[in-house]
Amino acid sequence: MDMTPFEQSESSVRGYSRAYPTVFASASNARQTAEDGTSYIDFFAGAGVLNFGHNDPRMKAAMIAFLENDGVAHSLDTYTTTKRDFIEKFRDVVLRPRGMDHRMQFTGPTGTNAVEAALKLARLTTGRREVVAFSNGFHGMTLGALAATANDAFRKWAGVPLNDVVRLPFETSPGGDTAVADYGAALRNASSGLTPPAAFLVEVVQAEGGVNLATAEWLHQVQDLAREVGALFIIDDIQAGCGRTGSYFSFDGMGLDPDIITLAKGLGGFGTPIAMNLNKPSVDDNWSPGAHTGTFRGQGLSFVAGTVALDYFTDDTLMNEVEAKGAVMRDRLEAIAAAHPEQDWEVRGRGMMQALDTGDGAFAKRVQQAAFETGLLIGPCGTGGQVIKLIPPLTIPDEDLAEGLDILDKAITTSAGVA
């Protein structure tokens, strides 16, 4: 396989290609095939984009028909039939059953665009600058979202100060059990020197941060404090949403009422780019026409595929499968951890986002390499890359899931030096 053009002409910033040094030529559901015919089981799924696998047949057929009929592929924010279809389907399948009347703001093609828009709207709504974000959180790589991101390696590449963010410990971080209450007490103290923030920005499951899970009780503390001080409560559901945790939103069933929800990744279904914020009407009314724009807010192919993707949520079939497959993944990781008791590894996750915290980034990287060499794609995350995260397509066949877990088990055993 000829990798010379990439190595000679592509930017040094490329990253995933270094972890997966091959040339992929085709893909179907949970498998990618390299140019030389080697097949890889995909437990990374485009960093959580491909919830419905590679080249979903129904989405592909709809997209081909759209192209053959000269559908409007690019539309800025003008009205199109494909956007109308998506809006109506999302409203009927996702919002109305939950009693939600949030408006849909199409922000641009990536998750960081959604976060930037959410932060801008929160500041516009409240007239305040500071935003509360949490340790281990990841919200994007553009400057506003990066300011809310905790990872030092990402932050240092900004080259400028990243300001106007108050950092509190996430629930599972040291001090996280009392931090929200302590911060609230300080805000109530007129001599604390603190002023109320514009918003609290939180992930229910910190995906890139290490698959850290917040409880409903803690999230309600955050939401209650936001309400008390007149700040917005924003849930970043970009990687954990769209069915990944076993329900459409990661916070379903928790009784939460976010002012803004950021979505991207799996929203477009096929892997085509789209990002969308769900804004409460009272919050959305603070926008003026054109106050937040972007060239790629009306991606026709994404609307078409995303509309088909919503068919997966018209009944409980897929979510029941996610629950069952997630249990298989978790049980296997628990067995792997139990087979290495001297390592004190931790298993955590929800639905089909499961992880093994090895506490050692160098070891996790060796596992990633060994897995790749034997036909499995995985991606470490968390502090120092010490967490092995598994996010296969929700549609992965049972036999591919089982084979991938076998490969992972062997890669871990090999990397741990155990025969």
pLDDT in tens, 392-414: 999 999 999 999 999 999 999 99
- State the Cα–Cα distance between residues 265 and 96, nearest whole angstrom: 22
The tokens of 310 are what?
Answer: 């919503």
pLDDT tens-place string over residues 37-52:
999 999 999 999 999 9
Q: How far is CA 374 from CA 24, 392, 408, in A?
A: 15, 17, 9
SS3 for 205? strand
What is the pLDDT averaged over residues 150-155? 94
What is the pLDDT averaged over residues 180-195? 97
Q: Tell me the residue length of the chain.
A: 419
Mean pLDDT across the chain, nearest whole number? 97
- State the Cα–Cα distance between residues 133 and 167, nearest whole angstrom: 5
Q: CB within 8 A of 8, min separation 6: which ones? A: none
pLDDT (0 to 100) of residue 187: 98
Residue 175, Ramachandran bin (φ over 0: left; ψ between -120 and 50: alpha; else beta):
left
pLDDT at 418 over 60: no
Q: CB within 8 A of 89, min separation 6: which ones? A: 307, 310
Q: Please indicate, yes or no, whether the overall pTM of this predicted structure exceeds 0.85.
A: yes
What is the pLDDT averaged over residues 342-370? 97
User: Around Cβ 60, how many Cβ atoms within 10 Å?
Assistant: 14
pLDDT band, residue 419 (cuts 50/70/90): very low
pLDDT at 302 over 90: yes
